[in-house]
Amino acid sequence: MKYFISCFLFIFTLNVFSADIEVSGNPVKQGDFFTVLLPETDYDITFKGNKTDIKIYNNRETAVAIIPVHYSTSVGTYPLKVTRGGKEIFTRDIKVTDGGFEKSYITVDKTMKKKRSDSNMKAMINHTREARKTSSDTKLWKKEFHYPVPERITSPYGAMRFINNKVSGYHSGIDFGVPIGTPVKAANSGRVILSMTLTSTGNTIIIDHGYNLFSSYAHLDSLGVDVGDIVESGQLIGRSGNTGFTTGPHLHFTMSIGNTFINPMLLMEKELLE
């Protein structure tokens, strides 16, 4: 009888906790993201299709985790698990579908190719990952995100990139083919966490929007903000250019959750969280 009661209480408790957990976006495409709403932050989440640390933040009367799906994640079904105190209290299979990415071909000379050398790429990754290591526990963005320059997309997110006919990876953001000197505006409000010149991405700015969400702006002609600056949505932060590894003037714009790049178009003109 005691065994029966214990099992009943365990199942009842599991169901109560499960009822308080909500998952948005299933199925989800490669390069997309989904959210998990929880009663509070005292939980741990694992998701096999994820390649970044999952962090949980207080968001008004609930808690939220924004979970990215890396663009290289294979199509398939992956378990999402929520534990508390080492006990599994919620599980859900998340189906990852094809992102429908295009292919992109560029040709560069030896001088330009050196800017994307292993050492330069490593330096860029080290600087940007260090900048994104921590994020504000406060939601810094307000309402919807906006494109930082006039919408003239020349290379979409996720495109398989071929450099001199050799695969170099996936395109981590969106390229806007705008002239040198075009005003670049913050996609939303936040805090500047990186503003520096890097050999591969040129003059680069990264903004923390809170909750592990970041935007970045590369190949700028000039940097108009410094690390630590608080910026408002639409504020001028620099001007587009042709610095770093490029084939012509443009702005390379990314959105990421932690260090996992997501499709920026998913956030444009709509509110992520109320």
Residue type, 25: G
- In the predicted model, what is the mean pLDDT of residues 246-273? 90
pLDDT in the model for residue 245: 85
pLDDT in the model for residue 274: 64
User: Is the model's pLDDT at 148 over the cut of 50?
Assistant: yes
Give the separation between CA 64 and CA 272, rounded to whole angstroms.
11
pLDDT in the model for residue 115: 64
SS3 letters across the chain:
CHHHHHHHHHHHHHHHHHHCCEECCCCEECCCEEEEEECCCCCEEEECCCCCCCCCEEECCEEEEEEECCCCCCCEEEEEEEEECCEEEEEEEEEEECCCCCEEEECCCHHHHHCCCHHHHHHHHHHHHHHCCCCCCCCCCCCEECCCCCCCEEECCCCEEEECCEEEEECCCEEECCCCCCEEECCCCEEEEEEEEECCCEEEEEEECCCCEEEEEEEEEEECCCCCCEECCCCEEEEEECCCCCCCCEEEEEEEECCEEECHHHCECCECCC
pLDDT in the model for residue 169: 72
CATH of the domain spanning 2-97, picked from 3.40.50.280, 2.60.40.10, 1.25.10.10, 1.10.357.10: 2.60.40.10
165-201 residue pLDDT tens: 675 677 899 999 999 999 999 999 999 999 999 988 9
Parallel/antiparallel/unpaired status of strands 153-155 and 76-84: unpaired
Backbone φ and ψ for 230, nearest 5 degrees, come out as: -95, 125
Residue type, 190: G
Q: How confident is the model at residue 270 (pLDDT cuts 50, 70, 90)?
A: confident
Give the separation between CA 117 and CA 113, rounded to whole angstroms.
7
Residue 252, beta-bridge partner list: 175, 218
First-to-last C-alpha distance (Å) of the chain = 47
Asked if the 103-266 domain carries CATH number 2.40.10.120, the reply is: no
pLDDT in the model for residue 220: 98
User: Is the model's pLDDT at 221 over the cut of 60?
Assistant: yes
Q: Nearest to residue 36, comparing CAs of 8, 67, 75, 3?
A: 67
Q: What's CA 172's distance to the chain center, in Å?
A: 9
Plot region of 158 (φ>0 → left; ψ -120 to 50 → alpha; else → beta): left
| In the chain, where the domains are located | 2-97, 103-266
pLDDT in the model for residue 111: 74
More confident residue, 106 or 37: 37
Q: How confident is the model at residue 118 (pLDDT cuts 50, 70, 90)?
A: confident
Question: In the predicted model, what is the mean pLDDT of the chain?
Answer: 87
